Amino acid sequence: MADGIRPARRRGMSARAKLTLSYAGVVVVSGVGLLAAVAVFLLRYVPDAAIVADRFVPNRSDLIRAFIPAAVMMMLVLLAIGLGGGWIIAGRMLAPLDRIGRAAQLAAQGSLSHRVALEGPRDEFRDLADVFDTMLEQLEAHVAEQQRFAANASHELRTPLAISQTMLEVARNDPDRDVEALIDRLYEVNARAIELTEALLLLSRAERRAFTREPIDLSLLAEESVETLLPLADRRGVTIDVAGDAARVQGSAPLVQQLVTNLVHNAIVHNLAQGGAVTVRTHNLPEAVAVVVENTGEVLPPHLVATLVEPFQRGAERTRGDDHAGVGLGLAIAQRIARAHDGSLVLTAQERGGLNVTVWLPHPSP
Tens-digit pLDDT profile for residues 121-151: 888 888 888 888 888 888 888 777 777 666 6
Q: Tens digits of per-residue pLDDT, 227-254?
A: 988 888 888 889 999 998 888 999 888 8
365-to-161, 211, 248, 342 alpha-carbon distances in Å: 46, 17, 11, 12
Query: What is the band of 178 on the pLDDT scale with cuts at 50, 70, 90?
Result: confident
Q: According to the per-residue pLDDT averaged within each range, which of 48-57, 163-172, 197-206, 285-294 is highest?
A: 285-294
pLDDT band for position 270 (cuts 50, 70, 90): confident
Least confident of 29-38, 248-257, 269-278: 269-278
Mean pLDDT of the 158-171 span: 76
Between CA 150 and CA 156 the distance in angstroms is: 10
pLDDT recorded at residue 321: 43
Domain locations along the chain: 15-111, 144-208, 214-361
Burial of residue 215, with CB atoms counted within 10 A of its CB: 0-12 exposed, 13-18 middle, 19 or more buried: exposed
pLDDT confidence of residue 151: 67
Taking each helix axis from N to C terminus, what angle separates 179-208 and 330-340, rounded to the nearest 10 degrees? 20
Q: How much is the CA Rg of the chain, to the nearest whole Å?
A: 37
Q: How far apart are CA 297 and CA 352, in angstroms?
A: 8
CA–CA dist 268, 164 (Å, integer): 29
The Cα–Cα gap between 326 and 181 comes to 22
Give residue 217's region: left, alpha or beta (phi > 0; psi -120 to 50).
Answer: beta
Per residue in 90-120, pLDDT (tens digit) is 888 888 888 888 888 888 888 888 888 888 7
Helices (H), the chain: 15-43, 60-108, 124-173, 179-208, 218-235, 253-269, 302-305, 316-319, 330-340
299 pLDDT more than 70: yes
What tens digit of pLDDT does each residue of 16-34 get?
A: 788 888 888 888 888 888 8
Residue 216 phi, psi dihedral angles, 5° rounding: -140, 160
Mean of the per-residue pLDDT values of the chain: 79
For the domain with range 144-208, which CATH number is right: 1.20.1530.20, 3.40.190.10, 1.10.287.130, 1.10.4190.10? Answer: 1.10.287.130
Domain 214-361 superfamily per CATH: Histidine kinase-like ATPase, C-terminal domain (3.30.565.10)
Which pTM does this prediction carry? 0.55
Q: Coil, strand, or helix at residue 349?
A: strand
Chain centroid to Cα 66, Å, comes to: 68
d(CA 258, CA 237): 23
Distances (CA, A) of 280 to 124, 222, 233, 349: 48, 7, 13, 16
Contact assessment for residue 289 and residue 283, using Cβ atoms and an 8 Å cutoff: yes
- Assign 159 a pLDDT band (cuts: 50, 70, 90): low
Widest Cα–Cα separation across the chain? 141
